[in-house]
Amino acid sequence: MAEGSWTPTAELPLRQDPAVDDDLPQVVVQEKQHGGGAAARTAMATATATRDGSVGWSGKPCRRDRSGGWFAGFLMLANQALVTFAVNCVGTNLVTFMSVVMRLDNADAANKANNWAGTTYVFSIVGALVSDSYWGRYKACTIFQLIFLAGLVELAVACHVFLDKSCHFGGGGGGRQEHCRPPTTAQSLVFYVSIYQIALGNGAYQPAVTTFGADQFDETDARERRSKAAFFGYFFVANNLGGVLAVTALAYMEDEGQWVLAFWIATAAALLGFLLFAVGTIRYRHFLPSGNAVVSVCQVVVAAVRNRRVRATVRAQDMYDPDTDGDRGKKGVRKMVHTPEYRCLDKAAVIKDPASAFRAPAGQPQGHSSSKPNPWRLCTLTQVEELKCILRLVPIWLCSILYSTSYSQMSSVFIEQAQTMDDSLSKLTIPPAGMDVFEILGVTAFVFIYRFCIVRVMAKISHEPTELQRMGTGLVISAAAMVASGVVEQQRLARATAGVDASSSLSILWQIPQYLLIGASEVFMYVTMTEFFNDQLPEGLRSLGSAMSVASMSAGSFASSLLVTLVMAITCRGGRPGWIPQDLNKGHVDWFFYLIAALNAVDLLAFVVFAKRYRPAPVIIHGEDETGGVEKAQDAEECI
Q: Tens of pLDDT along 411-435?
A: 778 877 887 888 888 777 777 777 8
Residue 42 has what pLDDT?
42
- Residue 520 belongs to a domain: no
Residues 104 and 228 in one domain: yes
Residue 17 has what pLDDT?
38
Residues 319 and 231 in one domain: no
* Percentage with pLDDT > 70 across the chain: 78
Residues 245 and 126 in one domain: yes
Given 240, 274, 289, which residue is the final one in a domain?
A: 289
Given 386, 403, 418, which residue is the final one in a domain?
A: 386
Residues 269 and 320 in one domain: no
What CATH code is carried by the domain that includes residue 91? 1.20.1250.20
- Per-residue b or e along 265-288, where b marks 16 or more CB atoms closer than 10 Å to that residue's CB: bbbebbbbbbebbeebeebbbbbb
Contact of 572 with 39, CB cutoff 8 Å:
no
- Residue 398 belongs to a domain: no
Residues 266 and 146 in one domain: yes
Percent helix, strand and coil across the chain, each rounded to 5? Answer: 65, 5, 30
Query: For 121-145, what is the mean pLDDT?
Result: 86
CA distance 347 to 317: 12
pTM: 0.72
- Residue 508 belongs to a domain: no
- Residue 285 belongs to a domain: yes
Orientation angle between helical segments 69-91 and 106-130, nearest 10 degrees: 160
Neighbouring-strand partners of residue 620: 335
Residues 159 and 199 in one domain: yes
Residues 159 and 260 in one domain: yes
Strand, coil or helix: what is 456?
A: helix
Residue 13 has what pLDDT?
34
CA distance 552 to 121: 9
- Residue 157 belongs to a domain: yes
Range name among 2-16, 122-136, 338-352, 373-387 with the lowest pLDDT average: 2-16
Residue 153 has what pLDDT?
94
Q: What is the mean pLDDT of the chain?
A: 77
Residue 603 has what pLDDT?
94
As for how many domains the chain has, the answer is 3
Residue 12 has what pLDDT?
34
- Residue 123 belongs to a domain: yes
Q: Is the confidence at residue 100, as pLDDT, over 90?
A: no
Query: For 126-151, what is the mean pLDDT?
Result: 89
Give the residue numbers spanning the domain of 135: 64-289
Residues 86 and 213 in one domain: yes
Residues 112 and 259 in one domain: yes
- Residue 621 belongs to a domain: no
Q: Is the confidence at residue 16, as pLDDT, over 60?
A: no
Residue 111 has what pLDDT?
62
- Residue 480 belongs to a domain: no
Residues 72 and 166 in one domain: yes
Residues 157 and 244 in one domain: yes
Phi, psi dihedrals of residue 180, rounded to the nearest 5° = -125, 145
Q: Is the confidence at residue 336, as pLDDT, over 80?
A: no
What is the residue type of 634? Q
Residue 170 has what pLDDT?
54
Given 386, 421, 444, which residue is the final one in a domain?
A: 386
Q: Is the confidence at residue 498, as pLDDT, over 90?
A: no
Q: Distance of CA 566 to CAs 278, 294, 563, Å? A: 49, 35, 5
Phi, psi dihedrals of residue 118, rounded to the nearest 5° = -65, -35
Q: Which of 352, 407, 421, 358 is nearest to 554 (CA)?
A: 407
Band of the pLDDT at 457, cuts 50, 70, 90?
Answer: confident
Q: Is the confidence at residue 173, as pLDDT, over 60?
A: no
In which element (H, E) is residue 232 found? helix 222-245
Q: Is the confidence at residue 7, as pLDDT, over 60?
A: no
Residues 152 and 251 in one domain: yes
Contact of 307 with 348, CB cutoff 8 Å:
yes
Query: For 574-601, what is the mean pLDDT?
Result: 87
